[in-house]
Structure 1
Amino acid sequence: MLRVAFCAYDKPDSIGGPQTWLAHLLPALYEYGIESSCLFLTHWGDTGPCLESLRKHGVDCEQTACQEHTRERIKWILAHLRQKSPDIFVPNLVVAGYFAGRWVRAAGIPTVGVLHSDDPFYRGIRDEFVFGRKAFRVSALACVSRELESQAVALKPRDTMIERIPYGVEVPAKEREKTKGCLRIAYVGRLAEEQKQISQVARSLCRVISEIPGTEAVLYGDGPDRRNVEQVIASMGLELPIRMAGRVPADEIQSHLLDCDVLVLLSDYEGLPIAVLEAMACGVVPVCLRMRSGVPELVEDGVTGLIVDDRGDELVRAIARLQCESGLWQRLSRAAKSRVSSNYSHQACVERWADLFFRIQARVKGKQVISIPSVMVLPRTNPALSSADPRPSPPVLPLRIYRRGRKFAGRIRRRLSGQRIW
């Protein structure tokens, strides 16, 4: 049995594509001869939905509260990896895990990075651990979309294998029919301003419902800016058929989507949005803001969904078309489900990950015990990763020692330049 260890963050309100992907992938790998485990860095030690789901499915999980500094996190990760002795390590989106990969690879254990999104953080992961110092480079990098793959390949990596492995979802057998007399619009995801622009999404939905008769909306999810959505609905949608449904477990969301007709995604950026995949698999028609990564390979305008260039007038017109244009919703719904079932099924995703793991493992010549260094020399903090890479502040010298140091350094410079100073 091949053993693969993953890393992840988790906290009580942590939902999103990377968490849903992990919760679905790890239990399924067992059927392919892969035993998975996961090291979780949690918020104040509190567990979240991803960790709880994996434990429910029998996946070996270890957790710790996020230590104050990156070096402490690295040592915790290395200590547990040394005990588990995996065949492959996937640091996923944990920066300390990528740094730990230096000593993991030195023990003959390959490492696999994952790019989940098209944003500065994941570009920092790519730049630091694919094109940065050789000792910290991952053995392979999995990109969830064609855009992320092409960006990485264009930079011509020397030591890292680049693979595209999109997310996969279950495709329900039930066929969707458009809701009679009403067009039900859903939003699924984090309630956050960053990336998701959730206040603007809420305002846009209120406008759509007020201007287009026979429409209603529901927002599934939770997040740090839930209060902002409540305020928007209280001011703009109090008399409108729009509601918040809260967080839904990952394995239950498609049962709710089967009662919806349209899914809106109006983010600034994405990787490969699982919410869109899950909706299309149910025959729900996606209406998405134009963006570089993920959406273009899923949503072909007028074929598998509709693409808009703003969250205002164009969105209203797109929803109006789906409500009023005869046969449009039915045609897009069928094509959306076909696109996902043909290329983005859960089984296909698991098979591609299993294939990558076995190909990488076949190259391994020998595995050693992972060492845990007492002194760690790390590269400078990458600004794009600083929020996930806390370092201690340098010690502050007393002013008199600082002045003496500057005076001594000045003497040395003048002496080297030929001036007599003694």
Structure 2
Amino acid sequence: MQVYDVVVLGAGAAGMMCAFEAGRRGKRVLLLDHGDRVGRKILISGGGRCNFTNIHAKAENFLSENPHFAKSALAGFTPAEFVALVEKHGIKYHEKTLGQLFCDDSARQIVAMLEKECAEAGVVTRCGVSVGAVRTHVSEARHGAPTFVVETSTGSFECGAVVVATGGLSIPKMGATAFGYELAKQFGHNVIEPRAGLVPLVFGVKDHERWCDLAGVAFDVVARAEMQTQRMLRGAKVPNFKERLLITHRGVSGPAVLQASSYWRPGGTVVFDVAPGQEVLRPLQARSSGRDWDALYAALRGVLPQRMAERWVRARADAGAGDWTNAGLEQMERELHAWAVKPDGSEGFVKAEVTVGGVDTNELDARTMESKRVPGLYFIGEVVDVTGWLGGYNFQWAWASGVAAGRALGHGE
């Protein structure tokens, strides 16, 4: 049986980061992945250019049943520190919008950077390896100290610590599995029910018939999920997201919808302000203004694409609107700023960019990512109940949680 100090399960963003941080500190590290190569999700991120961090990342940009958990790791490894690593490797990058940083060239550069750091730190990386079981063991090699045995398709490995960086359930075609959650449960951990996050939403029959023939129409909105579990957020305010909405053949997508989807639960509604910051119908209240459907359409054309403006007018007419008094116009104005949609569901893990939920953070040390139940067992990255917003936040959590665990492992005996 081969012996290592640390075995990291999952060679994605968090796993590779943790591996070389521990390796730098003199630990013998084995990095395993069941896929045919490392960093597969990194390669497809950001349209192939990898939105590798967000310069504004802080704990309030993350969703968790414990909204304070991410603070320590994020403070311990900041976006500026990852940017410094990127610059060290000569990778050119740019800010797109809202603090999102992308490679100028290709996501392959980020993967190559992580591979090089692992190699220089002496990390042994093996891909195409399936993990069958992880169990505790009393080690003669470690003078009777409790340790782990990782049984794989290529043999068994003994180690003092196991780091679970196996990711969530999003994008199953990239090899996503529930292995990390099953392992956590095996060792007595609670797992917050995983669900699809940053995912398009699907309309029910009525809304589908009314809107989905407008597929491809996009416009700016402010989106907010109306229904959420207070236990999950512990009273935290559900954020508004001012970004683009895209109507699809099945419902709605676009950055605003993806952001709100992480907070949405089945049975809840999502509310869209389709004319943020504007009083669209105020001109119609002037005495000289026309007050009819044509005037309403003309006003809407100033804030919405033509096809959406036409459909909005038709929907209001079908709903029996048509009170052209000041009070009636004010009601129509309120409707523009509170278009409430009750999705029938989401596109699921197949289209989700991340998994919301995961290993309960109440059972992990926020500074080290180590299990409070099982010494030497660590959970990092997407498998943990910490989910970032769209725009580089989830990568920053991967880097920061990986560094936290790697440094803690490096300080061990």
- Regarding TM over 0.5, the answer is no
Structure having greater relative contact order (Cα 8 Å, sep ≥ 6):
2
TM norm structure 1: 0.29
Q: Which structure shows the higher strand fraction? A: 2
TM norm structure 2: 0.29
Q: Which structure shows the higher helix fraction? A: 1
